Every structure is written in C-alpha cells, then in structure tokens.
Amino acid sequence: MPAQEYLPFSPPCIGEDEIAEVTATLRTDWITTGPKTKQFEREFADYLDAPGALALNSCTAGLHTALATLGIGPGDEVITTPMTFAATVNVIEQVGARPVLADVEPDTLNIDPARVEAAVTPRTRAVIAVHYAGHPAELDALRALAARYSLALIEDAAHAIPARYQGHTIGGGANPVAFSFYATKNLTTAEGGMLTGDPDFLDRARMISLHGMSRDAWKRYDKGGSWRYEIVYPGFKYNMTDVQAALGLWQLRRLAEFQQRRRAVIARYQAAFGAHEEFQLPVERAHVEHAWHLYVLRLRPEATDVTRDDLMAGLAARNIGASVHFIPIHLHPYYRDKYGYAPEDFPVAYDAFTRMISLPLHPRLREEDVERVIDAVLDITAPVRLPKAA
C-alpha cells in the first residue's frame, strides 16, 4: 500500500488577501517599520481592547523588552514555569537576573500560583506567567500575589490569542503581555510579535526596542521628519517591518474563522480520545476561553504500555507530523548544570513531559485528515491497552 502524503503538524494558513496586502506593501516606499506597522498595532490593540500595542520581531523580543523596561537586572529574581519554551527563561538570563522555576498545575500545565508564592524571596521582582497551549493561567491569583509582594506580572501569551480569562481577552490589561506571530501560531506574520500594556510603559519599551533611540525611522525619514536623534538607552533591534505587518493585518481579520475551525477539530479529538481510558485529555476550565494553539494529549501509563516515544514513532511511520511541548526548562543542559536541577525537582512538569504528545492542529486540516490522526493514534495504542482492574 503506497504511503500517504505527509500531514504537517502546523503549517501557516495564508490566503490571497494576505498575499495581495504584502505585494501592495512591497510597491510602496515603506517596507520597514512604517504606516502598516502602526495600523497593525492599532487594529491589534482594538481587537484585544488593550490600552496600547507595540509591534516587534518576536515574542522573545517582547519579553526581553518588558524586563529591560521594568529595570530588572543583576541581583533580581523572576519566577516562571518549567513548562515553556526556552525563550521565556533565556530573556531572564539575558538581563542578568536569576530565573526561579515554580511547578505547574496537573490539569492545565500552567504555573501553579501556590508554588509561585512559595518561591517568592526579597529578591523577587517579577513573575512571567505562560498561558500554556492557549489555556489562560490563573490570573486572579497571580495578580493578587503580584500586588501582595509588589511584583510585576508579565504574561507570555505566545499561545494565547484570542484566549479569554473571566470574559476578558488576554492582553487587554495594563500589565505587559507578549504575543508571538511565529509561522506555527494561530496568527502569523512569519516571524513577529506584539507587546501590549500601558501606553506610558510602551512608550519607554518602544525606545528600548529600537536601539534606545529617541526617534524611529518613520519620524526621521518620512516627509517633515527630522534627522536628529539621541541614544538614551543601550537598546535592541526588535522592530517589526511593514511587510510583516501587512501579513498580520489580514491574519487578524481572519482569526475568528481560524478559531472556529480549530474548535471543530478539538471537539472531534476530545470526543474520540475521551472514549478511551488510556488518554488524559487537555482541559478548558469554565471561566476561560482556550485559544487552542496546541492539542496536548497525555498517555496514562496505568492504562497502556505504549510510551510517548512509541506514539511519536508510530505517527512518523504513518507520515503524520507531531511534536512535544515542551522539554521542561530544568532538563536542558544549560539550566540543569548552572542551577543543579534534577528531573524530579518539578515533578508535575516532568511527569507530564514523559507522557505528552502534541497532535496536528491548524485550520487547514480537512475532516479526513482529522480522522486519519485519530485512527492512527488509536491503532498505535490498541495492541497494548491494559485490561481494566477487576
């Protein structure tokens, strides 16, 4: 039987409107940061009902800029989760602060507020909460902690557009929230990101994100602009381009359509895998709206002898893309060796990692693709399901 065509894990969903917008931008005088970037910032802030938005070249840039704008540096500590991509923790190292890890909740895999509080010391300056897989972290508890201990709360919302917490869109508040528009995300600009928050904070962040200059290129080179500028901080080169923003404008307009398809795929996955006790399904708590960036399925070792690596290999053999989100931070050599971590130091994150797999999830999935994934997972696990206890 011939092999089926490869089913990618999470390809971008780019339409003719995006292509036309990018092409039109390439025919203008502005392809770097300019009017399209400003328009994207406005429309993104309006979509989230955010007080302001700053377009950047990545979510990593947003997190790094936020820490620098807050003045966090050597001698400070920042609490975050081990269940995240390395960028969340790398930026803490980059500003010279110490990352302090707090374990996660067993169901959502978001940072556990009780463990955050236990990790607070007199050196703690901030908490970076990651909205894992698109499920919002428990913001009410984290905000209360931040207020109690005079900490900044930064949100890593790389997975979380357009998630909601208690009816409010993630990114709609005054605290810094960083979004990712990487190629696999719910909304893409190929590479790119956005930082939302208080307008005064974003004014400082904008300067820091572009070399620490007192004027950006548009203000210097557009008609009526002035060539004069001053460097007031040793800043970064993190600006978004108008070419990226042109792509983002149409992706934002199509986001509701994308999310409707994602939720349809999720409903099919949940129904199919929920009928089998060897799987632990992802959750959506009643007071949130999940962005469903990832569908993270966990195997139950008490119900099956199949391992995560068996399942990954089986899907690969069937030409189906899958991934693991994430290898916990404390297992990576740099952090393990520098801070002396052992795998069991964060037992919830470590246990979840050993059992998890991210299945294909994107708007381009056809019904037959979804059925193919479901059939493959059930077929791989079927021969080794353990009998129920008497």
Point out the residues that are catalytic: 185
The beta-carbon contacts of 383-388 under 8 Å, at least 24 apart in sequence, are: 384/304, 384/305, 384/306, 385/276, 385/278, 385/303, 385/304, 386/278, 386/302, 386/303, 386/304, 386/305, 388/277
Distances 24 to 15, 20, 30, 252 between C-alpha atoms, Å: 15, 6, 10, 18
Q: How many CB atoms lie within 10 A of CB 190?
A: 14
Q: Are 188 and 293 in contact (CB under 8 A)?
A: no
Q: Cβ contacts of residue 266 below 8 Å, gap of 6+?
A: 292, 295, 361
Distances 339 to 65, 241, 331, 382 between C-alpha atoms, Å: 25, 38, 11, 41
Q: In what order do the strands lie in the sheet with 288-289?
A: 168-169, 164-165, 288-289
